[in-house]
């Protein structure tokens, strides 16, 4: 296989990775429609840049807009709590520009059979203000597409006649103002530079330099200000505390209790004397005089060592001298008892046992 053919799979893999990166990047740049961060044809990134060119401070954060700002609702995706909060903010003196005709902030959609449009152009997408609203006084005409007309009511100001209704309606809401438009078409990236669409955007959203413009965004998962502990319901917390207390009580019940010892059945204990007799009988029946004598001498040596304070492995004459000096015992008797020679018969073993017992008593009772 040639080097070129060996390198072909790696080249194809690199090309595939590059294509995936390009497609992913282009998908991210397009974004969602009316997204203020999207640079696609239906995005609203150009609107943000336009307002920034006119010294507006554009905010893209969620929550209630700051006091004195102009709130822009391009697409109403707010939940009930966010809608109530925004309504309260408007009544307290805020200005809201909403471009979603289906929003709860927008008036009733519907025109009449009379269709007014610009006869000079015969283009139904071109609209003129034809109203005395100061905010649109500098707008000549705008281009819209797929817009919905609003039905004006008493106390509302309608501009840009469209299909017997108005594309724009302004109304007072408490101490604030709501400006509703029948669609966000003029403010998307591909139409913002047509006719006077940009003029309308600046006139409504940033009428003076330094205006704070808050493009209202819906809440996203993880974007709230509450901690995880605050999001846990009170009942769940109470249940967890109850489980913790129950576990503590169970642990105390199963733990070691410091009190009166509990009597438990013990194995059968054999008295020491009975054990000695049993061992002696076994040795007697087996004619094992030498092991029996060794056990007697070992017991005597241990008694002398403990009673006289002499090492247990001391020579027999040392133990005999100590016993004679402290207990008045005949040294010859001690040496004879500790003699390692085996007994010749049972009588000699009995005499050895008697001698060992006598010496033990003398040493134990000696002062």
- Tens digits of residue pLDDT in 254-286: 887 677 777 777 776 655 555 555 665 566 566
pLDDT of residue 350: 75
pLDDT confidence of 220, banded at 50, 70, 90? low
Q: What is the pLDDT of residue 361?
A: 78
Tell me what the mean pLDDT of segment 336-350 comes to: 74
On the question of pLDDT at 42 being above 60, the answer is yes
Phi/psi at 182 (5° precision): -80, 25
* Structure tokens given for 264: 């438990």
Interior/surface letters 323-332, b for 16+ CB within 10 angstroms, e for the rest: beebbebebe
The pLDDT of residue 278 is 61
Tell which residue, 181, 167, 163, has the closest CA to residue 112.
163
Residue 332 pLDDT: 79
Mean pLDDT of 326-348: 75
pTM assigned to the model: 0.52
Q: Which helix (H) or strand (E) segment is 97 a member of?
A: strand 95-98
Task: Give, in order, the Cα–Cα distances in Å from 96 to each of 88, 91, 340, 355.
Answer: 11, 10, 118, 120
Give the pLDDT band of residue 348 (cuts 50, 70, 90). Answer: confident
Coil, helix or strand at residue 302: helix
Higher pLDDT, 128 or 272: 128
Q: Which range has the worst mean pLDDT, 26-35, 197-206, 259-268, 320-329?
A: 26-35
What phi, psi does 225 have (nearest 5°)?
-105, 0
User: Which tokens in the block code for residue 55?
Assistant: 């010294």
Per-residue pLDDT for 20 more than 80? no
pLDDT at 89: 93
DSSP conformation letters of 22-84: HHHHHHHHH-STT-TT--STT--HHHHHHHHHTT-EEE---SSPPTT-EEEESS----HHHHH
CA dist., res. 264 & res. 96, Å (int): 83
Task: Compute CA distances 65 → 68, 175, 195, 221, whole Å.
Answer: 9, 16, 30, 19
Of the given ranges (32-36, 223-227, 287-291), which has the lowest mean pLDDT?
A: 223-227
Determine the average pLDDT of the residues in 42-64.
88
Question: Quick check: 120 pLDDT over 80?
Answer: no
| Residue 189, CA distances (Å) to 27, 182, 194, 357 in order | 16, 17, 10, 119
What's the pLDDT tens digit per position in 239-249?
Answer: 899 999 999 88
* Alpha-carbon gap, residue 159 to 107, rounded angstroms: 14
Instruction: Report residue 146 as tokens.
Output: 């797929």
Res. 168: pLDDT tops 70 = yes
Q: Quote the mean pLDDT of the chain.
A: 79
What is the C-alpha to C-alpha distance for residues 123 and 117, in angstroms, rounded to an integer? 7
pLDDT band at 117; cut points 50, 70, 90: very low
In tens, the pLDDT along 178-196 reads 999 988 889 999 998 888 8
pLDDT of residue 205: 92
Give the pLDDT of residue 284: 59
């Amino acid at each position: 296989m040639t080097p070129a053919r060996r390198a072909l799979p790696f080249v194809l893999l690199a090309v595939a990775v590059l294509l995936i990166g390009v497609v992913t990047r282009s998908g991210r740049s397009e974004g969602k429609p009316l997204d203020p961060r999207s640079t696609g044809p239906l995005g609203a990134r150009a609107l943000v840049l336009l307002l920034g060119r006119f010294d507006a401070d554009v905010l893209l954060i969620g929550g209630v807009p700051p006091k004195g700002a102009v709130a822009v609702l391009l697409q109403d995706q707010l939940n009930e709590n966010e809608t109530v909060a925004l309504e309260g903010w408007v009544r307290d003196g805020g200005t809201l520009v909403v471009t979603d005709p289906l929003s709860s902030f927008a008036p009733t959609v519907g025109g009449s059979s009379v269709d007014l449009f610009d006869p000079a152009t015969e283009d139904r997408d071109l609209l003129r203000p034809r109203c005395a609203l100061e905010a649109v006084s500098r707008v000549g005409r705008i281009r819209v597409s797929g817009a919905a007309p609003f039905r004006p009511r008493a106390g509302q100001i309608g501009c840009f006649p469209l299909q017997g209704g108005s594309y724009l309606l302004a109304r007072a809401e408490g101490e604030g103002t709501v400006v509703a438009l029948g669609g966000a078409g003029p403010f998307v990236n591909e139409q913002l530079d047509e006719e006077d669409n940009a003029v309308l955007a600046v006139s409504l959203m940033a009428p003076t330099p330094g205006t704070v413009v808050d493009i209202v965004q819906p809440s996203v998962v993880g974007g709230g200000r509450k901690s995880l502990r605050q999001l846990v319901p009170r009942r769940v917390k109470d249940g967890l505390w109850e489980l913790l207390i129950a576990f503590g009580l169970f642990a105390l019940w199963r733990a070691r209790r410091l009190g009166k010892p509990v009597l438990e059945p013990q194995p059968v204990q054999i008295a020491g004397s009975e054990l000695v007799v049993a061992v002696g009988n076994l040795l007697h029946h087996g004619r094992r005089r030498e092991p029996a004598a060794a056990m007697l001498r070992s017991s005597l040596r241990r008694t002398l060592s403990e009673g006289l304070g002499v090492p247990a492995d001391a020579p027999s004459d040392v133990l005999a001298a100590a016993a004679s000096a402290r207990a008045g015992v005949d040294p010859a008797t001690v040496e004879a008892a500790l003699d390692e020679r085996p007994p010749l018969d049972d009588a000699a073993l009995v005499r050895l046992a008697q001698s060992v017992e006598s010496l033990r008593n003398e040493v134990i009772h000696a002062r």
